[in-house]
Structure formats: structure tokens, C-alpha cells
Structure 1
Amino acid sequence: MQYSDKYLAFMGRAPKKIPHWEHWSNPDAETYLTGIDYYEHPRLCRLKLSQLYPQLELPIPEKDDPKPRPKLDLKGQSSNVDEHGGHHVRWGDTETTQWDWGKHFKDAEDVFAFSPLAQGDFTDIPVVESRDYSDEEKLYQEYRKMYPKEWGDKAPKGSTASVSFYNTMFMWPLLTFGWELFLETCLDPRFERIMTEFAEINRRVFRVFSRLPVNFVICHDDIVTSRGPTCSPKWMHKYIFPCYEEFWSIVKAAGKEVIFMSDGNMDAYVNDIMACGARGIISEPYTDYKKIARRYKDCFLAGEGDNRILYRSNPDEIRAMVESMVETSRITGGYMMCIGNHIPWNIPPKAVKYYLDISAELAHR
């Protein structure tokens, strides 16, 4: 059986052609690459882009109805302040909303009075993974309908079919209570009960994942910033890493591989993540990827590319970056080309094209 390059990279099997996993929100680059106005003909534009750069694997809209152009762009601005004092910035073909996580919690006592398990149904609570977790079988049915019925309870052999979860553990309190209240309360002994309840919710989630016809589970938690850890190793080893080890053992026992995703500089916690059972890591360019590749034979890695280099749009600098990425791929068979800190709307289209084209030329073993 001939496996896809993406599957081989996930499994650390060193495909000859190094695949891509890109975080993409650059409409102007799409227009530039295809010659078709992204806003006038979004479907035609994506269809042409999929022909020219299939490695991006971008979704194709069902309809070709014109899309409104971003207001900020039309004003010649990259940000504005609304009537409530909220700050908005341009994002892809639209603009950001407000960071209002935890807006329903006013103080620490609100946090300690909250019971994740008693709540159960997070459908109307903005925590990214806003679902009803009170009934495990219903949760399974909700996820199962995302995959073909004919697959039964197993994905096709060699398939890259996956399921992803944004709140692997760390994001639950952060998104539920907001940054300030999370940091204010997380060291209090009363916080342990809250984390125990979040863990029980996720125990249900990962049991559901173990039954799905997928081969990979993408587990997201932003446990670090660009400068390193948010919480201490002691705190992480009490509340987070034991849960990872338990949850991932559930899906691994069902034959699935775990890929861990986090923003920031992962250097401090790489060994912990790998010890918990991850196949590899996708993160941002602040992380030392060559060090990880040398330590863990044929682990999966993605995110080494840096959009700050693309932003400067210097061909020599972009080429040097790609050459360095390809060098890492020679250390581990599980490498994917990836601009780890995103390809946002303000990256010059010419730089995007050069990155994709030089990768096509050089990203081979």
C-alpha cells in the first residue's frame, strides 16, 4: 500500500517529498497566486489555488458568492477601536472580536463557586470547545457524524483522518475564567477541585475519541508563551502532565497517535510532552526544533518556519530559512514544512509565493 507523504510524516517514516501543514489567513496572497480575486470569486480562487498549491489543502467554499472586503483594509487601517472601547485588528478576510473569556466571572469567589461537572453543558459558554459534556454517548454521536458511516469504528489504514481538541487540559480554566482570574486563583488549594472536575470532563472526551474512526488525535493546549512557560513545572506536573499521560494512553490503546500543538516556545516542556506519549509537536519558531529532532528519533515536528522572515520579503533570507528547515527534516523523518507563527493577511504575497516555490524546489529528502 502506498501511503501519502502527510501520513508518512506523521508517522516519522521520512517521505521523499516533505509535506506542508500551514496556518493560513492571507486572502491577498490567494489573489496574487491565482490571478482570481478572492473576494469576487472565493470558490474559483480556492479551486485554482488547490491546483497550483495542493500542499496547502485549504477548504473550498461550496458557493462562489462574493465576500465583503475587510472594513479595516478599506480604511487603510490595520486596527480600530469600537464604540465600547474594544480594540479590533484585521484577521484574514475579516477582523478579530474581543478577548472576553471569563466575562461572566467577576472575582475569585465566583471561580471557586463554579463546578465544571455540575455545569456539564458548555454549549452556551464561550470556551472554544463549547459542547454538552454531560452525556458521553451523545457526545460520541456528535463527533461520529463527522466521519463516513462506512468506516465503522476504524479509519482506513494509512489515512490521516484525525480529530482535534482545543482544550486538552490547560485551556479549560484559562478560557472559562479568563487570564487574570485563572492566574489569580490557580495556586489556591481550592483550585484542585476545579481541575479534577475538568479532568473528568476530558476523560469522557478521550474515551469518545478512542471510539472514533481516526488515526490521529491533535491535542492543543497553549501551555507556554513565546518566552516560555506560563505556569511552573511543579504546577504543570500536578495538574496537567498526569492528565496528558492518562488521556493519551486511552487513545493510544485504541491504536491512535497523538500530536501535541501549542503556541510559543516549547523548549522547557518538550521532554514532558514526549514522556506523556505524544508522537510529536507542532509549535512556533521560538522552539529549538533541531534539538528535539536530535533527541527523539523520527518524531513528528512542524512549525519551524518564521513569518517574521516572510514579512521582510528578502528572497535570500527566505531561502536560508527553508534550507534550515530542510536540514531539520534530515534529522527526523517526521518533519512537515510549516510557518509556525502563521501566514496572516499582512505577509507580502510575493514572499508567500517564494516560500511555497522554494519549498517545492528544496523540500525533498
Structure 2
Amino acid sequence: MSVQTALDNIWLRPCERWAHTEYSMGYHHEYMKKMAGVDSSHPEFHVRVHDALQFDFQWGTNDGLTNWGTAGRTTDMGHAEYAADGSDMRPLQESPFKTVEEVWAFDAVAEYGLPDFEEQVQNYETSIQNARVGSPHQLTTGGSYKTIVSGAIQSFGWEMLLLGAADAAKMEKVFDSFFRRTLFHMEAWAKTSAEVMIQHDDFVWSEGPFMHPEIYRKVIIPRYAELWKPIHAAGKKVLFCSDADYTVFVDDLTEAGADGFIFEPFVDFGMMAERFGQSHCLVGSFVDCRDLTFRNEERVKEDVERTFTALENCRGAILAVGNHLPPNIPPEMLDLYYGRLLPRLAKGAE
């Protein structure tokens, strides 16, 4: 495991092994202690866990110094129970937006403001340097989470966002305001030493687009292209990330300049490997967390094998269970998964 392994896979350079990461591993406290061989209070606990699981990459974004919740209006849609103890459950709160006209009149820059640019650059640089100390053998990324659509979701909630998006012309200037905020922060990230950016935007559902496709192609994705210009000018790479099924927009994202894709099993790994494996870094696999959770051992074995077969068409990849490792996965299924995956990361391994 190494930073260089992640960089080589993202840059599509020849290297000895595929990179590896996982999401939500932190919920598996007892399993992590087993892998680390020390208690969680040990100063090198996380370093030992990441090294034992051969992590090369740490998913990370940072939306900047401004707290939207204190700076302006947001909609807290609550949170379902995910953690084993239910500590992350949060009830739905009433939206401050009562009419669609309020949505169409909204400007994210005016609402939340922007920090001092140089202060933001320094804050980002400090965060990256701290991450390198905490995870010395893993590449930690910069980037934005609430890029455009995810920003609108946090501000308006789903109901008011969907009502607003029914009028694409009126909604474009609203989306543009989120874009302008994010551009400020991507320009700040471009000034840092972070090598790779994640552009996260949950802009589709499991069934695909929830807005008219032309809103994506004429309003959203062209603005992604503008966000990526300062990043590419600084010699950095951009990995696009969204939950759910964005298959229909992968060609558009490619044209906009994405260097790689982070995706869930809703997006077919085999298709991505066949069509984009020679030109883009792929972050994911065939493995689905639901099969791990419900002890579908044969399917997990099969999907690990299918993943490595698909990688024969690829130049760079970071392997992961794309829809996370929820806390109710049995430890023995993690053993099965890692036992099948980790020995195969070295290219040419059988």
C-alpha cells in the first residue's frame, strides 16, 4: 500500500498493483482492532488498520470554512439509522423554504458568503498536510461535496428542489449560484499541494436522472467542466463521484474532462471497464454490500473474480465496495471479501 500506487493508478501509469480503498470501514470497530492488533487508543491504530487492509487511497472532500447551517438557510432532512447504536439517527426538520418562488430567488453566494481566499487556501493546505501525517501511506484527496446539485439538496430539501427544477430556465441561475461558490473553492484547492480532487455531486437517483436530462447536459455538466479547468491547469486530476446510477451521463462527464469515476454497483463495472478502462481511472468493483450483509458468499466470490477479469481492460483502478461497508456486515464476510481481494491486488496474481 502506498500513495504512489494510488497516484500511478489515477494517472494510468504502469505499476505493480491495483490500488484499494473502502468506505465506512470506521463503523467496524472490533474488526479494525483485530486487524490493527492494538487497541483503538494506540497512536498508530488507524495507520495499522489502513496498512493491514492495504488501503492506498482515502476518500475526502472539504467544502471550506463557511458553515452553511449558521451562515444561512438550509433544510435538515434528517438521517436514517445507520450506525449500529443508532447514534446518527436525526428527525426531519421543517424547511425554511415555503414557496417555489423563494427557491427561484435564492443565490448561494449571497446567502452563505465566501471566506477570504488566501485564508481558505491555507486552511485546505493545512488539512491536507494533517491528513498526510495521519495516513502516511494513503493518498488523501481534496475536492467539493456540495458541488451543485448536492448543494441545492442541502439548501432546499428534495421537495422544494424538485418543484424548482420543474422550470429549468428559472432554476439555472440558482444552480449557477452554487456553481460560483464551488468554483471559488476549487480555485482555492488548485493552489494547494493536493494531487487529486474529488468532485462529488449526488445528481441522480437509483433509477437515473430525477430532472429532465437536458438540465444535466445544458446546465449542470457544462459547469463541471468549468470547475475542472483550474484543477487541470494546476496539473491535478479530478475524480467524479455520485451515488446511484449515472450511466446515461458518463459520456458527457468524459467530454467535460473527468479523469476518473467513483461509482456504486448501480453503474456496471464491466461496462465501465470495457468502455473507459483505457482512458480513465475506475473506483469501484462488482461487489455489492448487500451480498456481504446477507451472507451471499458465492456471489461475493463470483463478483471479486468478475472484477479482476474486467480489470484486464483497464490501465488504472482503485478497488472498493462502491456502496460502502455498512456496520451490519458480519465479520466473517469481511474476512471472506478481504481474503479474496487483497492477494489479487498485485497485478498478475492468481
Spell out the pairing of 1:98-113 with structure 2 (5 A cutoff): 98=90, 100=92, 103-113=95-105
Higher-Rg structure is 1
Q: Secondary structure, in 3 states, of the residue corresponding to 1:273?
A: helix
Question: In structure 1, how many angstroms separate the alpha carbons of the residues matched to 2:140 and 2:151?
Answer: 25
1:273 aligned to 2:253? yes
Q: 1:161 to 1:312 in 2, by over 3 A?
A: closer
Instruction: Please report how far the alpha carbon of residue 16 of structure 1 lies from its aligned counterpart in structure 2 after TM superposition.
Output: 2.6
Question: In structure 1, how many angstroms separate the alpha carbons of the residues matched to 2:284 and 2:85?
Answer: 23
7-16 or 326-335: bigger deviation: 7-16
Instruction: Please report how far the alpha carbon of residue 50 of structure 1 lies from its aligned counterpart in structure 2 after TM superposition.
Output: 4.1
Partner of 1:345: 327
172-181 or 15-24: bigger deviation: 15-24
Residues 219-242 of structure 1 deviation map (CA, whole Å, 9 limit, x = unaligned): 101122222122222011222111
Q: Which amino acid aligns with 1:241?
A: I
Partner of 2:28: 26
Q: 2:204 aligns with which of 224, 235, 242?
A: 224
Q: 1:93 to 1:21 in 2, by over 3 A?
A: farther
Q: Which amino acid aligns with 1:138?
A: E
Spell out the pairing of 1:117-266 with structure 2 (5 A cutoff): 117-121=109-113, 133-148=114-129, 160=139, 162-188=141-167, 189-266=169-246
Contact 2:244–2:263 (CA under 8 A) maintained in structure 1: yes
Question: In structure 2, how many angstroms separate the alpha carbons of the residues matched to 1:28 and 1:348?
Answer: 11
- Percent of residue pairs bearing the same amino acid type: 26
Q: Which amino acid aligns with 2:31?
A: A
Q: What is the RMSD of the two structures over their aligned residues, measured on CA atoms?
A: 3.0
Instruction: Please report how far the alpha carbon of residue 28 of structure 1 lies from its aligned counterpart in structure 2 after TM superposition.
Output: 4.0
Contact 2:14–2:315 (CA under 8 A) maintained in structure 1: yes
Q: Which amino acid aligns with 1:18?
A: W
Instruction: Please report how far the alpha carbon of residue 252 of structure 1 lies from its aligned counterpart in structure 2 after TM superposition.
Output: 0.4
254-263 or 315-324: bigger deviation: 315-324
Instruction: Please report how far the alpha carbon of residue 10 of structure 1 lies from its aligned counterpart in structure 2 after TM superposition.
Output: 1.3
Q: 1:198 to 1:315 in 2, by over 3 A?
A: closer
338-347 or 11-20: bigger deviation: 11-20
Partner of 1:52: 52
Q: Secondary structure, in 3 states, of the residue corresponding to 1:174?
A: helix
Contact 2:153–2:161 (CA under 8 A) maintained in structure 1: yes
Q: 1:308 to 1:199 in 2, by over 3 A?
A: same
Q: 1:147 to 1:204 in 2, by over 3 A?
A: same
Instruction: Please report how far the alpha carbon of residue 8 of structure 1 lies from its aligned counterpart in structure 2 after TM superposition.
Output: 1.3
Question: With structure 2 as the length reference, what TM-score do the two structures score?
Answer: 0.80
Question: With structure 1 as the length reference, what TM-score do the two structures score?
Answer: 0.77
Query: Unaligned stretches of 5+ in structure 1?
Result: 60-85, 122-132, 152-158
Question: In structure 1, how many angstroms separate the alpha carbons of the residues matched to 2:79 and 2:124?
Answer: 35
292-301 or 339-348: bigger deviation: 292-301
Contact 1:162–1:217 (CA under 8 A) maintained in structure 2: yes
Query: Unaligned stretches of 5+ in structure 2?
Result: 60-77, 133-137
Question: In structure 2, how many angstroms separate the alpha carbons of the residues matched to 1:363 and 1:355?
Answer: 13
Q: Secondary structure, in 3 states, of the residue corresponding to 1:260?
A: strand
Q: Which amino acid aligns with 2:233?
A: A
Partner of 2:88: 96
